[in-house]
């Protein structure tokens, strides 16, 4: 079953792209109750397969974002998995052109590659997007700010869990910072226990019972009872 708050991030495993999506994860988790998952193959055990690991993450996510810049084969595979599973996803594409000087510098460092016909081409030259995805709706960006704004406006805002968050902020505009403390606890510990919340919000000016009641009614958290009692993300 998909976790409504979870967003899977798939991008080329190049430092510039990883930094971009790590920043996106940090900022969105600081500003919203979303939980973003950036695929990390280092977490895979010997009993897992890479494909199975990625498939499980995509299946469990309420939405997916795939950066198709450069026609990356790993991202292409992830998009195929998402399509087969019927996942809700958005493609992104970096359209910022690389300067000629930068291309020459990287080509000199890496050395030329030989094209199929015997000619040479620069090592970092690639198709701008996966061929089979050319006609699909996508977000084209040239800067981080543009990427984040378009993702929020064109994708995240139409997801059910984001809509619940916006409804909550509209109904309780001054409670959002306190609510974020609840989500931070859930992400950090797997649940937000009542004692930890009472300690965190002791001087916050927001009545904890009313806050938790509003979050439950808004479908943003669920209450779990028993030995591991606390507040967790909802299952639906």
Asked if 141 and 183 sit in the same domain, the reply is: no
Q: What is the pLDDT at residue 27?
A: 98
- Please report the DSSP string for 133-149 in residue order: GTTS-EEEESSHHHHHH
| 155 and 43 in a common domain | yes
Phi, psi values for residue 233, rounded to 5°: -65, 145
Burial of 72-83, coded b for 16+ CB within 10 Å and e otherwise, reads beebbebbebbe
Q: Please tell me the predicted confidence (pLDDT) of residue 71.
A: 85
Q: What is the pLDDT of residue 25?
A: 97
* Burial of residue 165, with CB atoms counted within 10 A of its CB: 0-12 exposed, 13-18 middle, 19 or more buried: buried
The alpha carbon dihedral of 12, 14, 20, 25 has a sign of positive
Full domain range(s) for residue 214: 172-230
**Domains held by the chain: number:** 2
- 89 and 139 in one domain? yes
Residue 114 lies in a domain: no
Q: How far is CA 47 from the centre of its chain?
A: 25
The better pLDDT of the pair 110, 230 is held by: 230
Say if CB 88 and CB 62 are below 8 A apart: yes
Please tell me whether residues 92 and 184 are part of one structural domain: no
* Whether 155 and 176 share a structural domain: no
207 within domain boundaries: yes
166 lies in some domain: no
pTM of the model: 0.82
Sign of the torsion angle spanned by Cα atoms 101, 71, 20, 163: positive
Question: Does the pLDDT of residue 134 top 90, yes or no?
Answer: no
Residue 98 pLDDT more than 60? no
Q: Are residues 41 and 75 in the same domain?
A: yes
Same structural domain, 53 and 27: yes
Q: Per the structure block, which two tokens stand in for 159?
A: 């997801």
**Does residue 222 register a pLDDT over 90?**
yes
Q: What is the pLDDT of residues 38-90, one digit of tens each?
A: 976 555 555 557 788 899 999 999 999 999 998 888 898 899 999 999 999 99
Do 222 and 136 share a domain, yes or no? no
Over 60: is that where the pLDDT of 32 sits? Answer: yes
The tens digit of pLDDT for each residue in 140-174 reads 999 999 999 999 999 999 999 999 999 999 999 99
Residues 145 and 179 in one domain: no
Q: Are 157 and 163 in contact (CB under 8 A)?
A: yes
Calculate the average pLDDT of the chain: 85
Percent of the chain scoring above 90 in pLDDT? 67
User: Quick one: which of 108, 63, 101 has its CA closest to 82?
Assistant: 63
Beta bridge partners of 141: 94
The answer to whether residue 113 scores a pLDDT higher than 50 is no
Is the pLDDT assigned to residue 181 strictly greater than 60?
A: yes
- Top pLDDT among 172 and 130 is at 172
Q: What is the pLDDT of residue 149?
A: 98
Amino acid 118: pLDDT: 45
Task: Give the DSSP H or E segment for 76.
Answer: helix 73-85
More confident site: 102 or 197: 197
Residues 226 and 137 in one domain: no
Tell me whether residue 117 is in a domain. Answer: no
Does residue 133 share a domain with residue 193? no
């Amino acid at each position: 079953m998909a976790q409504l708050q979870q967003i899977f991030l798939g991008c080329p495993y190049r430092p510039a792209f990883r930094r971009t999506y790590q920043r996106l994860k940090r900022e969105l988790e600081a500003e919203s109750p979303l939980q973003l998952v950036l695929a990390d193959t280092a977490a895979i055990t010997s009993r897992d397969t890479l494909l199975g690991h990625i498939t499980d993450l995509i299946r469990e996510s309420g939405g997916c974002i795939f950066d198709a810049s450069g026609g990356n084969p790993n991202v292409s595979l992830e998009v195929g998995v998402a399509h087969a599973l019927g996942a809700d996803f958005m493609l992104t594409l970096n359209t910022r052109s690389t300067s000629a000087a930068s291309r020459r510098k990287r080509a000199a460092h890496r050395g030329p590659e030989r094209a199929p016909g015997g000619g040479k081409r620069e090592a970092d030259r690639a198709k701008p997007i996966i061929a089979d995805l050319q006609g699909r709706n996508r977000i084209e960006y040239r800067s981080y700010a543009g990427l984040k704004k378009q993702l929020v406006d064109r994708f995240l805002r139409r997801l059910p869990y984001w809509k619940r968050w916006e409804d909550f902020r509209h109904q309780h505009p001054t409670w959002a910072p306190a609510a974020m403390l609840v989500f931070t606890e859930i992400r950090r510990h797997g649940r937000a226990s009542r004692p930890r919340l009472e300690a965190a919000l002791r001087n916050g000016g927001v009545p904890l019972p009313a806050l938790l009641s509003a979050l439950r009614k808004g479908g943003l958290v669920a209450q779990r009872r028993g030995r591991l009692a606390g507040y967790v993300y909802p299952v639906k």
